[in-house]
Structures are given as structure tokens and as C-alpha cells.
Chain A
């Protein structure tokens, strides 16, 4: 049984190298209203960032995400920052964003359903999606300096000079 399970899994892997995200994916804003990923993909590439108020590396990275949002917003980039704080600690999310003056859109995923749909496993998780819905870059965790690579990936997605 176990052998079969792993065999079938590895059988699938070669077919899975090209990942796409459905534009129907529903995201919940802080006010409870929902939007679809497709609404952002029409403007340009989308960087989805999963974070939480209890995640120290996530918070270290967010200052750079804000910088990228300000820098590339006019080029069509959307940064969607999705908090996976549970329903129990959601009240802290907005005050944290306000205090740091971050301008990107914040979404909530308290039951980690979007996180799982985008194959998130570790925190922070970043997923860069092109306008066709194809995942073109993914990164787990944050080591200071990772933002340089992220910048390169964003510029490449936006077809800007490196």
C-alpha cells in the first residue's frame, strides 16, 4: 500500500511541473468582501505573499514588499499580502499594517484554505503569478538578502531591465 502510494505520487510529479492558479480563486479582504484573483491578473503579474503577525521572518520581509509595491505599482504589479492569522488574532492585523504604513492590499485566510490551494507549506511563502495564471516563481522562508532575488524575479515578470 505504502509503495503504491509513493509510486503513484512520483508518477504524477513529471506532469506537474507547470503550475497554474485558477483566476476564480476567491480572496477575502479585511472588510469581509471577496474578490477574485482574475481581477488583479488583468492588470499585470501578481505576487502573493503569505504572512502572520506571529511570524518574525515574514515581518522582516514585509518592508521590502512595500518598497516593491510603491516601485512597480505603475508597471502593473499587484502585491497581495494574505495574513494566515487565525480568526482568534485577526484584530491585530490591521493595526500592524497601519503602524508600518504598508500600502499593499491585505487579505485574510484564517483557515489557511488559500494557503493550501497555492501549495504553501512554510512561512513566509511567496508565489509570483503571471497574467496567464502561471506560477513563475515561488520562494519559501526569508533570509535577509532574499529581496534581491525577489526584485530580479519581479523585474523579469514585468519585462523590465534587470
Chain B
């Protein structure tokens, strides 16, 4: 009783202060509470509260987190983010957690995407002066990057186990000249890179210099960005003498143009990212190999980001260190009710990597400007066509697509010996038809129907004497289907049933086995439920400030991507999730 009373007495001054300040301060906020529990221990408790305040020319942002553990990421309890901003006339000052981007992001693009546990923001300061023509800014701060790696102890799919600390200084100047926009920037990043074995740090100094040039008009858009990156290993500790790498010159080029002809547009994008040459064995090992693209550099991917469940699972994982590619886009109305779009993307690595007689990788000396089709260059190719629109007096909304994807994800061997070519690589080849229909019965009720079909061939193709294909699945081809049926009553609620089923799965998933939930057991009479994941979901809008969501069932594991950055997410087996989002 006495501690409780003491606790309440502590709060009274805060209450009084609030009342006094309320007349001048404006405070608003939102909260997101998520809880989940599953049979396979994919459990989480995630609470985030954002508070935004403003007072004259000042604004403030405070984010509290209490996650034990979150869906992806490290457990945390306390103030996660904060920022104070002062904006008056041409001046802006920010202190705290800063998220900025320059140009198209080849040099700097800070994001906080909790769905994939990516946070590339800095904690520091920014000062900016800008009128309608010129703008200058300087920023500085510290960055704490956490990543998942199997090269260090404590590997876990969900929880990052490797921490890099960066100290950052940057300057940028930009100007609008009629329809042109030009910017120059310089960034210095001092990286403390922990060594996997020596329990010590390497000191890496990165310098990035770049410019962007944009043109914007009714008929045509143009965008060009270039960045040059150099790095230098400044570690002076004895233990690193043998490991000390030499910094190389890296570059990034991105170009994009769109031409508008009435309601139609034709777009072409080009990327050429070569920040460091890593062999097929090194390319994803950011612990032992330094000098590659920084987490701050979240560059354009130059391929389409899909909203389809099945296409999302085969998203190409971009290698920002070494990727060359382009995309072509055509989009416009065929009739008043049919919008058509076509996307074609192609990319590959810059060089062919070859194993010598001692089984050491070496890159062929080439200067390519366009991607290769050769499997030894890790090519990726995707053609996607989509039709969408409203019909039946705006009652029916439809989206129907078709996609063909080919991606060589890993090269294992590539050797030319005695006139013979010996190789092995892993690839994904898929044909996907995503579709979605929404029919509105009246002003309140509507029905949603999602159907996605996919044929996928995934495995290792190798040649020694003859070419053979070893499927990653228990069968040669995987046939995936995703069905979603939903009923909604505006503006209050919606319910949905999702069924994700297949004819086979990867060997490890089959070996682990799984228990069916109640929905899957009921579907047993019509489907082979050993490869079926189904769930039931409900969303209820309590009022305009509160939305409650409930999900029961199982969700298939796989790759979860957000713009080329992907994370493997384990399956969610036979459990439930509760979410409450509110604004106040």
C-alpha cells in the first residue's frame, strides 16, 4: 500500500506539469501492440508507442518500445527513438534519431523498416539551410547496425547477433535550376568492424563522393546518380597485420528515365553497382570480408516489388556490392476499365568467377556494361504483365497478372579443366499467376477472392560428365497455390480465410514434420494437408482510432522481402496473433 501511494505521489508533479503546458504544447501519438504464440515457439510480444509533440517552431518525436521478444529483432524495453526538430524559415535543425536520404540513395538512404528488422538511421545532428533554389546540409552521428550472421556465435534466424558501429559525417549541397535539380554530396563513415574470432575491432574508413542530376517535366523525367566509394583498413593492431585488406575503388551508377505519352508511360532504369569484388564463397559473408556497400546505401533495386504472396517469396535478393542490370516498364490504359502494365527486369554480376586448379576463386577480367545471360554470372530475369481495373459499374475490382522468373541464386563450382567445363549452381525457375477480385454487393458488404498459382523448379544444376539437376524438393517441381476468401462489412469488420498449399516442400521441412491445425484438419477431405498452411483472420475497427486484428492458424515460412532486402522468416505453426493499433 505504502509503495503504491509513494508511486502515485511521484506522478502528481508530472500531472501538474502536463496541465500547465497543455495550453501551448500539442501532443499526439499512436501505439501498436502485437502478441503471438505458436506451437513451434514463434512467440512474440511487441509494443510500440510513438509520441509526437509540437510547440511553435519545435517538434519532438519519442518512441517507446517494449518487446520481449519482437517478431524479428532483439528484445528491447525503453526509449527506442527520439528527435527534436526546429524548423523556421529556411533553417532546419534536428537532434536525435535522424532518417534522411540523398538523391536516389546510392550514398545515403536511412530507413527504419521493422518488418524486416532493418534500421539504418543515425543518432546525431543535422543542420540545414535551404531556400527555393539552394540547399546546404551537414549531418553527423553514430550508427548501430545489427545483422544476423552464421559466422559468429549465437546464430538465430530471428535475432541479430552481429553488431557494427559507425561514426558518420556528411555534407550535401543541392540546387533547383528551372526543371533541373542537381546535388553533390560527401560522406565519411568510420566503421568499427568486430572480428569474428579475435574478439577485437578492425577500423575501416569509408569515403563516398557523389552527385545526382534530375530533370522533371510533363513529358519526360530523367534521373542520374553516381557515387565513388573508397575504403581503407586503418587497423593498427598486430593481430590484423596478416588480415589487413587493401581498399579498392567502388562505384555506383543509377539512371532512370520515363517518357509520358498521354496516359501511357514508358520507363527504363539502369543500375551498375560495383563496390567490392567478392567471390561466390565470400559475397554474403559481411563478417569476414570488409569494404563492401554500407547499410546506409539503400539503392534502387531496379525490379518490381510485388504484393503477391507467392511472388514475394521468390524475390530476387540484390547484391549491392556487385550487380549490373536494367528494367523496362510500360504502363497505361487499354480501355477505360483496363490498365495494363509490363515490367521486364534483368541483372547479373559483373564478372565470371572461376576456380583454378587449386580450387581458389578468381574473377575473369571484364568490363561489362550490360548483364549477362550466362549462368556463371548469377543472372536474374523477370517478365511480369498485369491487368487491373474496375468494371460492372465499379462493383468489381480485378487484378490479374502473369510472371516468369529465373534466378541463379548461388554459384558453387565453375572450373575449366582439360577442355571440359565443370560447374554447379543453384537456381529458381518459376511461372506465377497472381489474381485478386473484390466484388461489392452494396455500400457495406464486399467479397474478396485471391487466387495465386505457381509452378516452381528449384535446385542445383551441375555438370561433371553430364548435366544433372537435383531438386531442393522431394519432387522435381513444386506446385503452389494460395487461396484467400474474405468478407468485409464497411466500415466495421472483415474476415478472411487463407489457404496456402503445395504438392511438396524442401527436404528439411518434410523431415521436421508438422501438426495440422483445426482448419487444416477440416480441409483434409479435399486437400493433402501435409503441405497445407491455413489461417483465419479478423479485423475489427472499434472506432476511428482503434483497430483490432486476430489471426488463428499456420503461416508458411519463407523469405520476407522489403525492396530487395530479404529475411528468412520461420513458419508460424498452429498459433494465434493479436494486434491492436491505435492513435490518440
Q: Answer whether residue B558 sits at the interface, using C-beta atoms and an 8 A cutoff.
A: no
Is A135 within 8 A of B28, CB to CB?
yes
CB within 8 Å for A143 and B446 given contacts A56-B436, A94-B258, A111-B99: yes
**A interface secondary structure, majority:** mixed
Question: Is A20's CB within 8 Å of the partner chain B?
Answer: yes
Rounded to whole angstroms, the CA-CA distance of A63 and B397 in the bound complex is: 11
Given A9-B49, A111-B99, A140 and B489 contact (CB-CB distance below 8 Å) = no
Quick check: which of A41-49, A74-82, A113-121, A154-162 contacts chain B, the rest being far away? Answer: A113-121
Chain B window 96-118, contacts with chain A (Cβ cutoff 8 Å), 1 for yes, 0 for no: 00011100110001111000000
Check A63 against B29 for contact (C-beta < 8 Å): no
Whether B299 lies near A88 (C-beta < 8 A) is yes
Taking a contact as CB atoms under 8 Å apart, the answer to whether B564 and A88 are in contact is yes
Among the interface residues A7, A55, A63, A87, which one has the most CB atoms of the partner chain B within 10 A?
A87
How long is the Cα–Cα vector from A38 to B126 in the complex, in angstroms?
A: 24
Is B214 a contact partner of A143 (Cβ separation < 8 A)? no
Query: Which chain B residues (237-294) contact chain A, with CB distance < 8 Å?
Result: 256, 258, 260, 263-265, 267, 269
Q: With A111-B99, A143-B491, A144-B446 known to touch, is A19 a contact of B298 (CB < 8 Å)?
A: no
Question: In the complex where A88-B105, A121-B583, A138-B544 touch, is A55 in contact with B307 (Cβ < 8 A)?
Answer: yes
Q: Which of A135, A145, A149 has the most chain B CB atoms closer than 10 A to its own CB? A: A145
Question: B445 interface residue, CB < 8 Å from A?
Answer: yes
Number of A residues near B (Cβ < 8 Å) is 66
Task: Decide yes or no: A5 and B77 within 8 Å by CB, A54-B305, A92-B304, A121-B32 being known contacts.
Answer: yes
Interface residues of B in 106-144 (CB under 8 A from A): 109-112, 130, 132
Q: Which of A53-110 contact B (CB under 8 A)?
A: 53-56, 59-60, 63, 86-92, 94-96, 98-101, 110
* Chain B residues near A33 (CB-CB < 8 A): 132, 176
Nearest Cβ on chain A to B379's Cβ, whole angstroms: 20
Chain B contributes a number of interface residues (CB within 8 A of A) equal to 95
CB <8 Å contact, B29 and A89: no
B30-A87 in contact (CB<8A):
no
Indicate if the CB atoms of B563 and A137 lie closer than 8 Å. no
Q: Which of B15, B77, B446, B584 contacts A11 (CB 8 A)?
A: B15
**Chain B residues at the A interface, C-beta cutoff of 8 Å:** 11, 14-15, 18, 22, 26-32, 49-52, 54, 57, 59, 61, 64, 66, 77-78, 87, 99-101, 104-105, 109-112, 130, 132, 176, 179, 181, 214, 216, 221, 223, 256, 258, 260, 263-265, 267, 269, 298-301, 304-307, 329, 331-333, 339, 341, 388, 390, 394, 397, 399, 436, 438, 440, 442-446, 488-491, 493-494, 539, 541, 544-545, 547, 562-564, 581, 583-584
- Measured CB to CB, the residues of A under 8 A from B are 1-2, 5-9, 11-13, 15-17, 19-20, 22, 24, 26, 30-34, 53-56, 59-60, 63, 86-92, 94-96, 98-101, 110-113, 116-117, 119-122, 135, 137-141, 143-146, 148-149
| For the complex of A and B, 9 pairs with smallest distance between CB atoms | A145-B490, A119-B30, A144-B446, A95-B265, A19-B28, A31-B216, A87-B105, A143-B488, A20-B26
